Structure 1
Amino acid sequence: MASIKMIHSLCEAGGEGSPSNPVKFKGQDYKDLRNTLLDEGREFVDETFPANLQSLGELEETTAEELKEVEWLRPREISRRASFVVDGTSRFDFKQGDVGNCWFLSAIGALTLHKSLMMQVVPLDQSFKDDYAGIFHFRFWRFGKWVDVVIDDLLPIRGKRLVSVSTNSQKEFWAPLLEKAYAKICGSYADMIAGNPPEALKDFSGGVHMSYVLSKSKPDLWDVMDRAIQCQTMMGCGTFGGKKGKEIFSEFGLVDGHAFAVTGAQQVESDGNKVNLVRIWNPWGEGEWNGAWNDKSELWRTVRRDVRRECLRVCNDGEFWMTMEDFCDYFEELDICCDSPNFVDDDAECLWDCSLKEGRWEVGESAGGCDNKNEEFWTNPQYRLTIKGKKGHKNVLLSLMQKPDEKYRSKVEYHYIGFTIYKLPPKTPKGHLPYSASENIQLIKRSVFSSTRELIELHSLEAGEYLIVPCTYDPDKTASFLLTIYSKAEAEAQVDGGHLRPSRQKAARTQ
């Protein structure tokens, strides 16, 4: 698999925020805390995420009286045989609990297929036996930097079962503890309700994310998926909601408006014909497709015995196969997340450069909105990109991600964001371009605007120097953002600058 070369990064290798030196979330140092606890013979109680109803939040379909029944226990109080990991980590170790976070759990299912990433997110040198102090930690990529999240191991229990994700073996607790760490990032367990797999996939890797609307799928989508598997990507998907989703649920056994993980894709030969099959996993641990090529389908008798045995090793585990055609008909969207964009085309050996830039739109300073005919637009942050050569068709991928100031995930309101790309004439002076210079540059592309956490677009740019202007649709919206530019190494891309104060004073707004 080709790699990514970081040309400008928020955190250099080994620096704070890198995989080997993550930022300490809420300033909590896992090693220091653990050593102190062991010296004092105490078990950790996390005051920054206390074991109470505030940390649990308002769960869907759970009454106030039922919430009062919740108690918080440590795994060793739940099971005498409590273990962090038993025989490795797998998507079959757990299933969803009362928290409506299938988007997050489906992403965990995809994560378990990639052991190096799994070890980054879930440090495996943790135990309930040796030097146990009731403290654990997990790592997530958050807006350009890796963070280390410390938790205690008090888990919410009601009616003798976990309120959160449950453990299938009744004794393996890495998944419930991982969920608790992410709940701490989100603000509470309830703040994890509702979402899309790409958010968690990104937070597990910091990688490139692409979404495909399956009803408008590209003719080469199967090739894209095949390359994605070769590149060791994580993949998720979701079913239709609303009336259409209800009809699918009743007829074919699928869950409407639900997130799944894509765990494989394989071409088999059936009666002399090649059939493209997709393997999908339901984080409920049950609820499977009952159409063509389901676990009990007679169609499996038309393939070689060794292929059938390999594909159907376990039944009734929430995982199933279906044809690529049925996948595109009955699922709404496919999400792919990888550390490089190599899966997007057939240039699988290409090396990509990656540059990350932090920025912020500030009311009255650098939040000019999207109207490039307006002088205020040119107060937005600006970034320059130099393309010295080109190979292939799509050679630049742009990602614009909002970084919310809100502590609680459920309260975040994303602005409509986008960006505009201009081609600059040769020898354009460096620095922040003012409105007066806008007539001399060529508009190349104005992106769609979307109220999403991350906006991603692929572009084909010829050799030359470009100006990228990220902005909100409406002016005077304050927010932080992360701009990531991936370019094929042959392009020799360089990113200069960011938001530099224009030399002139900003004109007053008029109504």
Structure 2
Amino acid sequence: MILNGIGQRIYADRQKLIEDFSTYDLREGEFGNMWFVTAIGTLIINMDRTLKVIPNYKKQEWKGVIEKQDYAGVFEFCFWRFGEYITIVVDDKLPTKNNKLLFCQSETREVFWCGLLEKAYAKVYGDYESLANGDAIDALVDFTGGVAERINLRDVNLKDEKRRATLFGKLKADRINEALIICYIQCIPEERGKELPQGFVLGHGYSITDFKEIINDKTQEKGQGSSKLLMIRLANPWVKDEWNGPWSAKSKEWQKLDPSLEAELQFSKDKGEFWMVFDDFLNHLTNVDICHIVKSSNEFKLHSEWTGRSGGCDYSSQSFLSNRQFIIEIHQDEDELHVSLEQHDIQPNKSHTGRTLNTIGYSVMKVAENRMYRLHIPGKLIEKPDMIKTRSVFGKTVLSRGRYVIIPCTKDQKEHGPFLLRLYTHGKANVWELTEEGPSTIWPCLSLPSMVTTLAVLSLEKIEKPEGSKDEDFTPKIVVQCEGEKVVSKIPLELNEKNEWETKSDFEHVKVTFYRKKPNQPIIIEVFNSNKIFDDFCCQARVIDNGGEEGTSIKCDVFGRKKEKYTKKSGFIHVFVQSSPDLQFL
């Protein structure tokens, strides 16, 4: 193997070192790196992103210098790595054998940008050998700073037509939002490169470039079944091998297409593009990987590490809550949370490191509205860990107002290593790590609380609007108070068959935790009717029972306040209360 300076031994013309970007002018090298060809072939679809990876490319170009002697023979590339962008500089020498490039290269002899990009990427990992078993979606994350979502089509129940339509709509929306999407047929390493009868090649990745939902009136007129077609366009960076089934370039389906729709289904055979019906796509492809370019209003990046205190992934085990805990507080009534959990790359084939990729996942739990310390008993599970042995995992979930704890975890307690947790929301939110187990003090004159109490408001029953309320609607909120601390939350009500106000069936319990120095004092729950100017007081309940460590459900009578403090009013408040003198019990 010889490292030749480009233009010295390989080619004399250096006119297009990093110019003439083309998605469909690529091929893998002698040692096989199909995944990298897939990654850069997909990247080039978004030229804005490409020019961030290769900054100031015109100034770096051979013909961009003022005079020939100004050419420095070095090139600059930019990659996103574990939460930050890094700059990599390489020279113009590429590995060759018998004057032929060994790794990623262009079909055009004088174009070298893909080989230089691969060399810079190999430098990030240490050497070319480290790229032997790479993953295209991970490379796209490194190129763009996006987040990776992996969909195994065999794990999704696609027999239902509505599920198929939902998946089609999701992928189409992701593409509109400038996500980079690839698909492939999963196979064992020994089968990579094998061509299937339908034209697909095992191990090759295909870029998804467009989605169309069309109504083919010509088909309907001939009585040939449903006229609605869900179409997906793929692009093959290798150009020569492509789909040969229905809606392929020479298929008879094009003759049945209404001429007015031809403009909707444009494709370039020279660029390896082809259309498929979405059902055929689902029947033949096994995996879809999506690199989301997240455009949420808020991004939170948290670096941490799985260490000796890692607790595994079994939500029901006592060790689970020894994992790292991160809290997110949602301020909107409803918001969509995007979660990306990423671990550092550790190549499985490098046995001398003594490490492999961890099997990772995360859980999301609803916790008390005023949670300040680490959890010691599980909260309400919103999303359970979906454990995958991969560099990163991704998920979305819609959350209502309140606080939630996110717990990144590994499958085995012995799996350690650094990780990056990225959270995205559309509305305002706060995020921080829970590190303290409970209240503490370094001052002898300050006493610690003697009891921790968790109270959950389960429902309101037959609560009436206050007399004289001018507001026709009843939009109550509750205020839970204990020793000067208060928590405010909304309570959605609806009228039942008896025209009585009761809590909606989908009501999310309001949960609060207090660390109490005076446990004999009651916890006060007040109900108000929310108005634009002044809130109308409805009633209050006083919770005296502490519930014990097992906890107990209580049906609380409600009363007035001040002069009506002992006047019983209509309705009840149902709560669950649990307490312990051990401040790290709850």
What is aligned with 2:22?
90
Name whichever structure is richer in helix by fraction: 1
Query: In 2, are the aligned partners of 1:397 and 1:457 still within 8 Å (CA)?
Result: yes
Query: In 2, are the aligned partners of 1:93 and 1:172 still within 8 Å (CA)?
Result: no
Cα-to-partner distance string for 1:445-499 (whole Å, 9 max, x where unaligned): 331222211122222322211122222222243200001112232xx22102355
Structure 1 residue 201 corresponds to structure 2 residue 135: no
Given the superposition, is the C-alpha separation of residues 122 and 367 from structure 1 closer, same or farther in structure 2, using an over 3 Å criterion?
same
**Deviation at residue 282 of structure 1 after TM alignment:** 2.6
Q: 2:398 aligns with which of 460, 472, 490?
A: 460
SS in 2 for 1:221: helix
Cα-to-partner distance string for 1:406-442 (whole Å, 9 max, x where unaligned): 79978661112222322222333x24x263xx27x43
Matched letter for residue 230 of structure 1: I
Matched letter for residue 423 of structure 1: K
SS in 2 for 1:461: strand
How does 1:346-425 map onto structure 2 within 5 Å? 351-363=296-308, 366-371=309-314, 376-391=319-334, 395-404=336-345, 413-425=356-368
SS in 1 for 2:276: strand
Given the superposition, is the C-alpha separation of residues 280 and 190 from structure 1 closer, same or farther in structure 2, using an over 3 Å criterion?
farther
> Where do 5+ consecutive residues of structure 1 fail to align?
1-69, 342-350, 505-511
Structure 1 residue 75 corresponds to structure 2 residue 6: yes
Given the superposition, is the C-alpha separation of residues 284 and 499 from structure 1 closer, same or farther in structure 2, using an over 3 Å criterion?
farther
Structure 1 residue 469 corresponds to structure 2 residue 407: yes
Given the superposition, is the C-alpha separation of residues 493 and 282 from structure 1 closer, same or farther in structure 2, using an over 3 Å criterion?
same
Given the superposition, is the C-alpha separation of residues 493 and 409 from structure 1 closer, same or farther in structure 2, using an over 3 Å criterion?
farther
Query: In 2, are the aligned partners of 1:235 and 1:261 still within 8 Å (CA)?
Result: yes
Query: In 2, are the aligned partners of 1:400 and 1:418 still within 8 Å (CA)?
Result: yes
Shifted more, 463-472 versus 206-215: the winner is: 206-215
TM normalised by structure 1 equals 0.73
SS in 2 for 1:251: coil
What is aligned with 2:52?
120
Alpha-carbon distance in 2 for matches of 1:409, 1:136: 29
**Deviation at residue 94 of structure 1 after TM alignment:** 2.1
Name whichever structure is richer in strand by fraction: 2
Cα-to-partner distance string for 1:238-280 (whole Å, 9 max, x where unaligned): 114269x899944212112332222233345653434333222
Query: In 2, are the aligned partners of 1:417 and 1:471 still within 8 Å (CA)?
Result: yes
**Deviation at residue 404 of structure 1 after TM alignment:** 4.0
Q: 1:237 aligns with which of 183, 189, 199?
A: 183
Alpha-carbon distance in 1 for matches of 2:54, 2:253: 39
Q: 2:151 aligns with which of 212, 235, 238?
A: 212
Query: In 2, are the aligned partners of 1:197 and 1:237 still within 8 Å (CA)?
Result: no
SS in 1 for 2:52: helix
What is aligned with 1:184?
123
Matched pairs, number: 415
RMSD, aligned CA: 3.2
How does 1:90-489 map onto structure 2 within 5 Å? 90-123=22-55, 124=57, 125-129=59-63, 130=65, 131-215=70-154, 216=156, 217=158, 218=163, 219-241=165-187, 249-267=195-213, 270=216, 271-272=218-219, 273-303=227-257, 308=262, 314-315=268-269, 317-340=271-294, 351-363=296-308, 366-371=309-314, 376-391=319-334, 395-404=336-345, 413-428=356-371, 430-431=372-373, 433=374, 435=376, 438=377, 441-489=379-427
Query: In 2, are the aligned partners of 1:96 and 1:164 still within 8 Å (CA)?
Result: yes
TM normalised by structure 2 equals 0.64
What is aligned with 1:494?
430
Matched letter for residue 403 of structure 2: E
Cα-to-partner distance string for 1:304-356 (whole Å, 9 max, x where unaligned): 66865886664355433222111111111112222227xxxxxxxxx442211
Given the superposition, is the C-alpha separation of residues 84 and 355 from structure 1 closer, same or farther in structure 2, using an over 3 Å criterion?
farther
SS in 1 for 2:403: strand
Matched letter for residue 133 of structure 2: A
SS in 2 for 1:182: helix
**Deviation at residue 181 of structure 1 after TM alignment:** 0.9
SS in 2 for 1:467: strand
> Where do 5+ consecutive residues of structure 2 fail to align?
220-226, 441-586
Given the superposition, is the C-alpha separation of residues 308 and 386 from structure 1 closer, same or farther in structure 2, using an over 3 Å criterion?
same
Matched letter for residue 280 of structure 2: D
Alpha-carbon distance in 2 for matches of 1:283, 1:252: 17
Quick one: higher RCO (CA 8 Å, sep 6+), 1 or 2? 1
Alpha-carbon distance in 2 for matches of 1:181, 1:305: 47
Alpha-carbon distance in 1 for matches of 2:124, 2:99: 26
Matched letter for residue 103 of structure 1: W
